[in-house]
Amino acid sequence: MLDFLFYKINSDGKLIADGKEVESVEFVYFAQTLSRVMFGDINKNEGVFCASKDGNFPDRGERRLDGPCADCHESKWQKDAQGNWIAPNCAEQFNLKCFDVERKQLFSFTVKRASIKPFKKYLSKIVLQFDAAQPGIDLKLCVIGKLTVTREKKGNQSYYLPVFDISRNATPKEAQYFMQIQSMIGGGHPPQQQMLPHQQQNMLPPQHQNYSQAPQQPYNYSQAPQQPYNYNQAPPQQNMQQMHQNMQTPHQGMQKQMPPQNNPQIGQDAFGNWSEPPHDEPPF
């Protein structure tokens, strides 16, 4: 069982890593788990009223409520008499599984309420780090982030929020090391040696794929599409009586080829066949 240290921001706005105050932490993000917790009145020294490890059903607390959490009134936003929104008493928490690059230590960091938004912004930044991509490795393992603290003020109250920024791209050796750690804690892609070369190539963004190395398959003329029978041409062995009958009554095949009347959406395909538009298109 791998041990995760708990990193946090204390009441003085200091980032605590491995029990010590630090200015910042370079980290790699692996995964997250969702949980919920509702505390009592801190001024009355009340503890945890209700909590859920999976964020779905309560499993502990001094006043544990019935689940599921999604239907509980304590997990929903409410409005006061003036119409202002009031945050729910039960807070959703994201427990992040990360790796401290400098200290070579796995750690857990919890974000909730106003801290969730900057974390989601960080995830959106990772998706755009195309130059960090490496074959066969999850993109988030190729990006090293930086965790710091900022002070925010709302009215007369001030509070501290985590700041998630991208520090640099991981080297190939670092990315391989991070992938090994992720395979140990669960989640992510299998080790690179278990992936085929074309699978590693396809995991890169389009501009990083090397199409020059793709094998050129010779064209198989035996699989060439068969030309449909052209009903507009009369059979070579056809007598005059049959030709006269065709002039009076159109050939069955020609009836197929003739476009239905008063339908401007009907067109011809590459072989000259008339086709109707897909039925799932809107009727306008």
pLDDT tens digit string along 98-128?
A: 999 999 999 999 999 899 999 999 999 999 9
Report the pLDDT value the prediction gives residue 73, as an integer from 0 to 100: 87
- For residues 91 and 98, give the distance between their C-alpha atoms in angstroms, rounded to a whole number: 22
How many residues comprise the chain? 284
Predicted local distance difference test score (pLDDT) of residue 223 = 57
Residues 6+ apart with CB under 8 A from 65: 50, 58, 72, 74
What distance in Å separates the CA atoms of residue 52 and residue 71, rounded to the nearest whole number?
Answer: 14
Contact criterion met (CB below 8 Å) for 171 and 134 = no
Q: Distance between CA atoms of 97 and 114, rounded to whole angstroms? A: 19
- Distance in angstroms (rounded) separating the CA atoms of residues 274 and 55: 56
Burial of 277 (0-12, 13-18, 19+ CB in 10 A): exposed
Comparing CA positions, the residue from 6, 184, 33, 185 lying closest to residue 100 is: 6
Tell me 168's DSSP state.
E
Residue 94 sits at φ, ψ, to 5 deg, of -105, 120
User: Where do runs of H (alpha helix) occur along the chain?
Assistant: 116-127, 172-185, 197-202, 240-248, 252-257
My answer on whether omega of the bond before 197 falls inside 30° of 0, hence cis, is no
Per-residue pLDDT of the chain (284 residues; tens, 9 = 90+): 578 999 999 999 999 998 899 999 999 999 999 999 998 876 777 788 899 998 899 999 888 988 799 899 898 888 888 888 888 889 899 999 999 999 999 999 999 989 999 999 999 999 999 999 999 999 999 999 999 999 998 888 899 999 999 999 999 999 999 999 999 887 544 434 333 333 344 554 444 444 444 444 555 555 555 555 555 555 555 555 565 565 555 544 444 445 445 544 445 555 555 444 444 433 33
Residue with tokens 């801290």, as numbered in its chain = 115
28 contacts 98 by C-beta, under 8 angstroms: yes
Pairing label, strands 5-9, 105-112: parallel
